[in-house]
Amino acid sequence: MAESTRDRVMEIRAGLSHALGAAQIALEQAHEARDAAHARYERVVAAATARRRKLTAARDERIREIGSWHDTELAALVGVAAAAADRAAPGAAGEPWHSWEPTPLERAAELRVGRLILPEAPVPAPVPGEGRRPDGRDGGADGERRPRGAWAGAPGEVTEPLPGPESEPPETAAGPPLDEAPPDVAALVALLDRGHIVVEGDRRAGDDVVAGLLLRALGTSAPGAVRIIGYDPENLGGGLAGFAPLAPAGVLTSVGPGGLERLLDDLVGHVRRINETVLAGEYTSLRELHAVTNRRPEPWRVAVLLGGGDLSRHERSQLDRLLRTGAACGVHLVIRGLDVAPGPGIEFIRAAPGEDARIEGAGDLPVRLDPAPPPTTVTATCRQIAEEVAAGPAPVALDSLLPEAGTEWRDTSATGLTAPLGDSPQGARVLVTLSDYPPHALIAGPSGTGKTNFIYAWMGALAARYSPDELAFYLLDFKEGVSFARFAPGRRDPSWLPHVRLVGVNVNTDREFGLALLRFLSAELRRRADAAKQHEVTNLAELRAEDPDGSWPRIVAVVDEFQVLLAGRDAVAGEAVDLLEDLARRGRSQGIHLVLASQDVSGIEALWGRPALVAQFSLRIALPRARRVLAETNAAADSLPRYHAVVNADSGAAEANRVVRVPAAGDRERWGALQHRLWRRRPPELGPPRLFDGDVIPKLVDSPDYRGLRASDSPAAPVALLGETIDVAARSARTVLRRAPGRNLAVLGTRVDEACAVLATAGRSLAAQFAPEGARFSVVCLDTDARAAAEALHARIPDCGWYDMDNVDWLLEDAAAEATAAWPADRPHFILIYAADALPGGKEAAAQLRTVLRQGPERRLHVLGWWRGAGLLRDTLGGQAARTDSIGAWVALDVHGSELSPYYPGQGAPNWYPRPWRALHFDRSVHRGAEVIIPYGNP
């Protein structure tokens, strides 16, 4: 082989080896690059996975939040909807049948027919395998929900639920807890006062809806306030069979086949009448009338028309009229089986079993209709309603007489007092006026027919319209009981009716209080007549115009069972009739109105004996079966239903009869609401009325006269208070112990407590007028029964002397000397003697006491003594022939009038029949006749 060839081979080998080396390096580098790329690839993949997981987690969290928010919102909305439905359909309007009972409501409510099926009720995720919701209802295909938090991803993505909190069941922030069923949202329809219902679809379900609606309408209104007229030609009334117990009471009337035209005509007639006479252009609907006036003079008439085939043209047009105009007049139609075109106020219900029913007002939401009400509930309710209706009309609420809240006290009484007293049977309001004509009223009705209630209702209607500046009441009840006490503040209720100035209760044995009221009114009449003369006017309206700043309210004086005041032929009755006659005659133009009520006016001889007096009472009010209050030939009261009255402003002439259904005003709660409302509006200066309760013993510390006493150094005319007079102003009876002959006081009778009460009142009131040391007081106790009371008085008067059997001789000797002394008397000396007739010391002591009685007062020495009998006082004074003028004032307890004649100058004896805790007071220096007083208790 040639050299050159070898070289070339070598060369090639070297070249190859070099190339191999280079390739090796390149390969290694390529491997490295590949490894690096792979590692990068791995990193990228790992990062991508991690990022996707993070995004997934974030997305799931967001979905969970949205789900939770959605559920919370939905639950809240369901709650709101359920609460709104509850409010719209309270009580019997919406209560499920198992707990249903009638609950008459103030206003017509919407009525429940079933429940709404909400698309996505917020229920917790169903446990796999369980097909029922926690509320026990079927899940149903579209009712089932995907577990919140499980996310179904797109193909190829990570699909398994990722571990973490999102796989837990979501919490609900608000709304019902998960183990509680969401609230039921009632499906409601509006019938009474709103519109008409047309039921279509499944017949059985439709029947159930109609029965349910009727029962709810009946159960939400007062018995008799809903009248049902049934027309069921196919089943001859079978569709309303359950309501049959209502028929005898007239609450359900059935119309036979062929009677549809007449039924529709009748209803159209009602609508026309109600529009013309009840709404009378003043209101657009009964609903509005009720809202404004609280009156509902017409029942709701619900006509149930179940089928009827083709209607005649007339029937169709009457039906259309009713559909358009009936609801405003309380005429409503519930229709099944007649074609009705949609229109305002017409609710369509498509009845179907299960959850396929619909009501138009709920849009597309499915409705599960309620089952029919249980037949026993229907029957029991209907029976109860029928019984109550048969027993008489339901009471009307007092509110129906009142002006709208906030509009009280807007009327002026310048020309009279006018107020509604209720509705006539035809639905028109009956207004009653007291003015110049008719000025006074007589109310009559046998016991229990509602006289007192009538007076309450009238007073309520007046008090709500006229302010206390325009109207004042003076009330007297001669019946036993406290029916007028509610107008004055009491222990339980501190409010009073601001117009009431005086309330007298339990006065049946204190007829003097009736007289006091009449005397007070007479004085007021004189005041008004004088003012009228001064302003040269003739009646109240003119006086008020001339004297706008004066206080001239119309006065209404109500005397219940007034015949008690006039019974008998004694001085009280005589004076009362005279005063009444004057008040009745002259009060009319001076705004003083008398309202006299009695169980039976025929028994009041004193009144009927004075035709001129009776004629003034031209407003006559007769309650059922009242006699003689209307004209002889007017028998309207005989046929009056319960809670009605005949109001007659023309002295009972039959043509002037107006029948009124009187609202119930006796209910304390309702009355209380009105009284509180008016009381809160009272002018600040208006105090409570004077309450005279004949059963209550007054207290000296409450006496305005006692509280007004002030101590001074030497009052010239000290006043001894004795008890409360029976008069309008709660005055205290008094006797003035000035320096003058006869200024002594004798208390006569055997009743220890009352005698001690009078002496204690006198002693305490006298002591209150003197500064310390200003007068000398001596208490003499000669009867152990009176000792405690005498000691109590002694303890109350500072520096008072105490004497009894043992030492009274000292006092008498001293006092007799003082009475006859020549030196001027320095200060008054009051000697209070308990049981003066028991004075020891024989003739000498008796003579000393006589001296003190005769001569003491001129030297400011006064005896206030208690003798246990009128004859015993006579003995003290010196026997039958002795003069009695040293006893200038006396208080007689259980002493008959005839025994008092020696101490009662003038003709005969005072008219006095003793009665417990009452006394007769006479002061010859001021009185023409004696006055009845009530000793103060615990003075």
Annotated binding-site residues for ATP read: 445-452
Indicate the annotated binding residues.
445-452
Helix runs in 221-285, H state only: 260-273
- Interaction with ligand ATP in 389-418: which residues (CB under 6 A)? 395
Distance CA 552, CA 554 (A): 6
Q: Does 562 bind ligand ATP (CB under 6 A)?
A: no
In the set 450, 688, 715, 742, which binds ligand ATP (CB under 6 A)?
450
Q: Which is nearer to ligand ATP, 474 or 671 (CB)?
A: 671
Beta strand pairing call for 554-560 and 657-661: unpaired
From CA 511, how far away is CA 756, in angstroms rounded?
25
Which residues in 12-150 belong to E strands, given as ranges?
111-116
Shortest Cβ 640–ligand ATP spacing (Å): 12
Write down the least CB distance from residue 462 to ligand ATP, Å: 17
Q: How far apart are CA 710 and CA 732, in angstroms?
A: 16
Pick the binder of ligand ATP from 500, 662, 720, 873 (CB under 6 A).
662
**Cβ nearer to ligand ATP, comparing 599 with 634:** 599
- Smallest distance, Å, CB 453 to ligand ATP? 3
Q: Which is nearer to ligand ATP, 643 or 936 (CB)?
A: 643
What is the Cα gyration radius of the chain?
A: 47
| Binding segment toward ligand ATP, per CB under 6 A, in 138-146, 448-456, 487-495, 792-800 | 448-456
Which range of residues in 13-21, 106-114, 503-511, 660-668 is near ligand ATP by CB under 6 A? 660-668
Closest to ligand ATP by CB, 663 or 688: 663
Query: Which stretch in 113-121, 628-636, 659-667, 691-699 sits in contact with ligand ATP by CB under 6 A?
Result: 659-667
Contact predicate 910/920, CB 8 Å:
yes
Report the residue number, 663 or 718, with the smaller CB distance to ligand ATP: 663
Decide whether 91 or 666 has the Cβ nearer to ligand ATP.
666
Which of 451, 544, 859, 918: binder of ligand ATP (CB under 6 A)?
451
Binding to ligand ATP (CB under 6 A) within 588-647 occurs at 599, 643
* Positions 474 through 513 that interact with ligand ATP (CB under 6 A): 479
State the burial class of residue 901 (Cβ atoms within 10 Å of its Cβ: 0-12, 13-18, 19+). middle
Of the pair 666, 841, the CB lying nearest ligand ATP is at 666
Q: Which stretch binds ligand ATP (CB under 6 A): 15-23, 357-365, 370-378, 658-666?
A: 658-666
> Among 254, 294, 435, 449, which residue interacts with ligand ATP (rule: CB under 6 A)?
449
Using the minimum distance from each CB to ligand ATP, give the nearer residue, 343 or 448. Answer: 448
Residue 247 or 431 having the CB closest to ligand ATP: 431
Residue 504 to residue 488: CA distance in whole angstroms? 10
Residue 399: phi, psi to the nearest 5?
-55, -25
Min CB(91)–ligand ATP separation in Å: 22
Strand partners, 645: 660
24 binds ligand ATP (CB under 6 A): no
Which residue number has the CB closest to ligand ATP? 450
**Could you tell me the smallest distance in angstroms from the CB atom of residue 665 to ligand ATP?**
7
At 816, phi and psi to the nearest 5?
-65, -40
Binding mask 341-380 for ligand ATP (x = CB under 6 A): ----------------------------------------
Cβ 593 to ligand ATP, closest distance in Å?
20
SS3 for 885-916 is CCCCEEEECCCCHHHHHHHCCCCCCCCCCCCC
Beta carbons within 8 Å of 533's beta carbon, 6+ residues apart: none
Strand partners, 441: 595, 619
Residue 636 CB, shortest distance to ligand ATP, in Å, is 17
Q: Does 808 interact with ligand ATP (rule: CB under 6 A)?
A: no
The span of 447-455, 537-545, 765-773, 865-873 binding ligand ATP (CB under 6 A) equals: 447-455
- Looking at the DSSP assignment, which residues form a beta bridge with residue 781? 834
Examine residue 666 and tell whether it contacts ligand ATP (CB under 6 A).
yes
Kindly state whether residue 223 participates in binding ligand ATP, applying the rule CB under 6 A. no
The smaller minimum CB distance to ligand ATP, of residues 206 and 450, is found at 450
Task: Please state, in angstroms and rounded to a whole number, the distance separating the CA atoms of residues 443 and 448.
Answer: 13
CB nearer to ligand ATP: give 643 or 904.
643
Q: Which contiguous run of DSSP H or E holds residue 795? A: helix 787-796
The residue (of 297 and 450) whose beta carbon lies closer to ligand ATP is 450
Contact residues for 362 (Cβ-Cβ < 8 A; gap 6+): 116, 187
Question: Which CB atom, from 448 or from 908, has the smaller least distance to ligand ATP?
Answer: 448
Q: Cα angle at 222 between 216 and 223, to 5 degrees?
A: 90
One-letter amino acid identity for 739? R
Q: Which two tokens stand for residue 913?
A: 């029949």
- Spell out the residues 6+ positions from residue 150 whose beta carbon is closer than 8 angstroms to its own: 161, 167
- In the block, residue with structure tokens 């009060």: 587
- The site for ligand ATP, by CB under 6 A, has a size of 16
Locate 545 and state its tokens.
């115009």
Q: What is the DSSP string of 175-233?
A: SS-TTSPPPP-EEEE--TTT-EEEEEE-HHHHHHHHHHHHHHHHHTS-TTSEEEEEE-T
* Range in contact with ligand ATP (rule: CB under 6 A) among 193-201, 381-389, 451-459, 831-839: 451-459
Residue 428 contacts residue 607 (beta carbons within 8 Å): no
Per CB under 6 A, the segment of 92-100, 140-148, 380-388, 656-664 that binds ligand ATP is 656-664
Whose CA is closest to 216, among 308, 342, 88? 88
Strand 801-803 relative to strand 829-834: parallel, antiparallel, unpaired? unpaired
Contacts of 406 (CB under 8 A, 6+ apart): none
- Taking CB under 6 A as the criterion, the residue among 96, 169, 257, 448 binding ligand ATP is 448
Interface characters, 671-700, with ligand ATP (x: CB under 6 A): ------------------------------
Could you say which of 445, 514, 652, 723 contacts ligand ATP (CB under 6 A)? 445
Binding interface with ligand ATP (CB under 6 A)? 395, 445, 447-453, 479, 599, 643, 662-664, 666
